[in-house]
């Protein structure tokens, strides 16, 4: 059984005595579970602004797994995996009679200040300052980013209802249209130590979060992101 196979192993990875340690609630050896937690914490912090409080919950492997004994189990982050919300850590046997690789479910919670609904709001409602308050929320709870600033939420229309105390997410807010096709817009390119601005004609509506094409006075067609009233920023 996998739990029995792992229990004697993790001591070698954490420089502990070469004896079996007690199992954690996840069913892993405590030393190995600690490595999993540290790996998840280090991977989550780069995604979080500031110095938030991070909690990692380690799940359990499928109890139907039957894996060969292993002298060294190595935890790792699977390629392309974002350690944020519901995620997973890889465990691979690097020294044993048979090499194997499995995935351990984890949940990474990242707590920070953001907006929540005071008393709830219906779909289609336009948010006011009275509808919102600041509270600590799990930023990783939803794939959509939490809204932290009242300036980003007040006056916006809800695409779906909010319950009292629920975190306000970007997906709750109807995307704003900053300009229409055919309008003259300011095009801005910024970098280290420089800023270049000019005018262009929008070739399609400037919807928040969606790329927009513009034609400059010279006839060149560029693609950027609408970031404000008749304003487009170009990627460098």
Residues 145 and 79 in one domain: no
Residue 128 is part of a domain; what is its CATH number? 3.90.1210.10
At 44-93, the pLDDT tens digits run 776 666 557 899 999 998 888 888 899 999 999 999 999 999 999 999 99
pLDDT computed for residue 136 by the predictor: 95
Average pLDDT over residues 35-49: 81
Q: Among the three residues 143, 172, 201, which one is the final residue of a domain in this structure?
A: 172
pLDDT given at position 25: 62
Question: Number of folded domains in the chain?
Answer: 3
Would you say residue 1 has pLDDT above 70? Answer: no
- Least confident piece of the model among 52-66, 158-172, 174-188, 212-226: 52-66
Tens of pLDDT, residues 178-215: 999 999 999 998 877 788 899 999 999 999 889 999 99
Question: Do 143 and 194 belong together in one domain?
Answer: no
Residue 64's pLDDT is 87
Domain that holds residue 155: 111-172
Residue 49 is predicted with a pLDDT of 60
Same domain, 12 and 103: yes
pLDDT of residue 39: 93
Beta strands 194-202 and 72-76, pairing class? unpaired
Q: What is the pLDDT of residue 4?
A: 40
- Is 79 found in the same domain as 127? no
Q: What is the pLDDT of residue 5?
A: 44
**pLDDT confidence of 29, banded at 50, 70, 90?**
confident
Give residue 16's pLDDT: 29
């Amino acid at each position: 059984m996998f739990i029995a196979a792992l229990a004697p192993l993790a001591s070698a990875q954490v420089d502990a005595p070469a004896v079996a340690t007690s199992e954690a609630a996840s069913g892993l050896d405590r030393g190995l579970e600690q490595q999993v937690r540290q790996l998840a914490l280090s991977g989550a912090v780069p995604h979080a602004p500031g110095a938030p409080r991070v909690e990692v919950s380690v799940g359990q492997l499928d109890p139907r797994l039957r894996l060969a004994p292993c002298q060294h189990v190595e935890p790792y982050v699977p390629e392309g995996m974002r350690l944020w919300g519901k995620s997973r850590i890889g465990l691979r046997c690097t020294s044993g009679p048979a090499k194997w690789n499995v995935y351990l479910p984890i949940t990474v919670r990242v707590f920070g200040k953001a907006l929540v609904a005071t008393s709830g709001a219906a779909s289609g409602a336009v948010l006011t300052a009275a509808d919102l308050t600041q509270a600590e929320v799990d930023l990783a709870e939803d794939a959509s980013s939490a809204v932290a600033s009242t300036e980003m939420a007040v006056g916006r229309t809800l695409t779906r209802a909010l319950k009292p105390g629920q975190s306000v997410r970007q997906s709750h807010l109807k995307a704003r249209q900053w300009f229409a096709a055919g309008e003259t817009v300011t095009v801005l390119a910024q970098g280290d130590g420089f800023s270049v601005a000019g005018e262009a004609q929008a070739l399609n509506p400037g919807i928040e979060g969606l790329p927009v094409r513009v034609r400059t006075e010279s006839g060149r067609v560029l693609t950027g992101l609408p970031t404000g009233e008749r304003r487009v920023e170009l990627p460098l």
